[in-house]
Amino acid sequence: MAEMIIDGVAVEFTDEKNLLEVVRKAGIELPTFCYHSELSIYGACRMCMVEVEGRGMVASCSVPPEEGLVVRTNTPKLQRSRRMILELLLANHHRDCTTCEKSGACKLQDLAQRMGVRQVRFGYREKMLPIDTSSPAIVRDPNKCILCGDCVRVCSEVQGIGVLDFANRGSEAVVSPAFGKNLADVDCVNCGQCVSVCPTGALVVRSEIQDVFEALNDPEKVVVAQIAPAVRVAIGEEFGLEPGQVAMGQMVASLKKMGFAKVFDTSFAADLTVLEETHEFLERLQKGEKLPQFTSCCPGWVKYAEQYHPELLDQLSSCRSPQQMFGSVAKRFLAKELGVEPQNLVVVSIMPCTAKKFEAKRPEFTNQIDGVKVADVDHVLTTGELARMIKEYGLDFNNLEPESLDMPFGLSSGAGMIFGNSGGVAEAVLRAASEMATGQSSLQVNFSEVRGLEGIREAEVDVAGTKVRLAVVHSLSNVKELLKKLAAGEVAYDLIEVMACPGGCIGGGGQPIPNDTNARAKRRKGLYSVDRQQTLRKSQDNPLLKNLYNKYLKEPGGELSHQLLHTEYGTRRRIAGEEINLVTNNGKSKVEVAVCVGTCCYLGGSYNTLQELLRRVKEEGLQERVDVRATFCLENCAGSPSVQIGDEVIGGSDPSSVDKLMEKIKGKLQ
């Protein structure tokens, strides 16, 4: 325990990482844009400046606490400095605040009000950059970016992808995907974590609110909703409730008042997923093939695997996600029971996840039904979008009389509900596996070994006399680390649950802000509490699920089940675009060299390899004989960074391998 003086008051500190945390511990909320406790220190916005006796003004986020420091947080000099920073940010910011998607929840707007900025003494932004609407999940408006770098760091540090970074210098500086590409043309997995940390409207969820309202007002359409498990413990945050507080009844009431004909629970489809995935896993385990089996509920993870690890696609469970299983069943069976043509049944998903918008639009999930092309899921609303719809409709959410879900897809087990937590899918499968393997009922329900918020967790569980090795991993940077160990033979598993977002679906990119560790922990606790209160704790005990199989699907893994509830995925080029010619050959015979500068290879040092190759080619006078190009993908993601010399693709080509690469080039010249 040590002590410092903050604004004349002695404040004790222990393991706080920086002055900012100690100041906040003292009850003083210093403003910040670029500080997030889960990300690296950046110190760019300078809003958290304090005066330290003997040192002057310092950024409190980047200074460690010390015994005896005398700190002042709100001197006239600091107040003027903060207001000036805000004015400069506003001067370069497209100030369409009244119509901005983030209006009312914008940190820049909030701090300008809080700091008393009533006028901006500088001109307006002159040059307007194009808005990127290419992604089905995220809209990027560079005109509202304040260069805080939050999105850059979360994409690189938490997700390990790095599709966003700083480009250009000085007044031309922007945050952008590589080479000015659109988000849809790069490695973005649509997870929306960048949206969660963006303090302004520079990155927002692509809204489908108006599309849903139009469907609700179309007399020919019957609109039904499915609600994901993680939404029920987060929606209340938008209306002043604590994270983790279950508000399912009010949510159902809201949807019905807005005109939804039926409201169902995606947890029912999660139960369906458990039966199909467990059946598939037990078959693979018995045959000893396609192991470890990876879960496939998370569309962000699936796209990541398609981009970076197509060699693992056969090991992904072929099961569709619960969202897509529900849509498939609804369009084919529920439509018949409601007497509605499939194309007139509008399925709206309420999800914590922005990647679900991308998933719903995948071509695999649009099929011919009775000769008509129909999407299984028509629209996806995030938790935040639903909250805005409720507010726009004028509903008093907290005082609504709770209503119940509709049958036949409104009854679910606790196993289906914990799908929203990291570890929930694995635990649900374990609850079913032993009984499905032996045909005998089991009293074991809780598998605490797979629970927790650690990025990578391991467990070994007995399933019908067989030791099953499991791993549970969330956040794609952790996935990257685990897959490296798996490829190197350092670890071995039978089942791996993967979720792209921190904490799983509870931390999805469409959840309320703040979407931080504290909020995720409370949401996680709320879902496990819901599970404990359920009469049915195991998916296989759901009687309405049994009815679905008896009436339509027949059996898990059967012919119709496989047709409607399973799918397959293929390799995906991570970045599309033209090649960049860097050295010309003037028409002479040449050796063609292509260096991949796509994100995966770039992070492995391929840009430095490219620069060194160019230098060596010039140094050895080979410009006329060697054509060096940068390209965006050599389809060798697993072996990145990659260089192609002639027809040969050489993996692991980092800067240290340039000598060997030059030997190969010279060999081709002989």
Is 311 noted as a catalytic residue in this protein? no
Q: Which two tokens stand for residue 632?
A: 């965006």
**Given 176, 196, 254, 317, the catalytic residue:** 317
Q: How far apart are CA 623 and CA 666, in angstroms?
A: 12
Burial class of residue 531 (count of CB atoms within 10 Å of its CB; 0-12, 13-18, 19+): buried
**Given 356, 480, 538, 590, the catalytic residue:** 356
Is 551 noted as a catalytic residue in this protein? no
**Given 38, 364, 392, 635, the catalytic residue:** 364
Question: Beta strand pairing status for 466-474 and 580-581?
Answer: unpaired
Q: How far apart are CA 328 and CA 497, in angstroms?
A: 23
**Given 51, 101, 276, 359, the catalytic residue:** 359
What are the contacts of 75-81 at 24+ separation with CB within 8 A? 75/51, 77/51, 78/49, 78/50, 78/51, 79/115, 81/46, 81/49, 81/57
Q: Are 295 and 317 in contact (CB under 8 A)?
A: yes
Q: Are 337 and 214 in contact (CB under 8 A)?
A: no
574 residue type, one letter: R
**Given 188, 191, 198, 505, the catalytic residue:** 505
Q: How far apart are CA 363 and CA 383, in angstroms?
A: 25
Q: What angle do CA 386, 390, 394 make, to 5 degrees?
A: 165
**Given 238, 280, 385, 435, the catalytic residue:** 280
Is 359 noted as a catalytic residue in this protein? yes
DSSP label at 38?
T
**Given 238, 277, 306, 612, the catalytic residue:** 277
**Given 61, 155, 297, 601, the catalytic residue:** 297
Q: Are 545 and 271 in contact (CB under 8 A)?
A: yes
97 residue type, one letter: C
Is 297 noted as a catalytic residue in this protein? yes
Q: How far apart are CA 91 and CA 226, in angstroms?
A: 43
Edge-to-edge, what's the strand order for the sheet holding 379-382?
262-265, 222-227, 345-351, 379-382
Is 373 noted as a catalytic residue in this protein? no
Q: Which residue has the tokens 């010039």?
A: 618
Is 364 noted as a catalytic residue in this protein? yes
Q: What angle do CA 621, 626, 627 make, to 5 degrees?
A: 130
Q: Which residues contact 320 (CB under 8 A, 6 or more apart)?
A: 273, 296, 328, 365, 565, 566, 567
Is 318 noted as a catalytic residue in this protein? no
Q: Are 39 and 477 in contact (CB under 8 A)?
A: no
Is 196 noted as a catalytic residue in this protein? no
Q: How far apart are CA 336 and CA 560, in angstroms?
A: 17
Catalytic residues: 277, 280, 297, 317, 356, 359, 364, 505
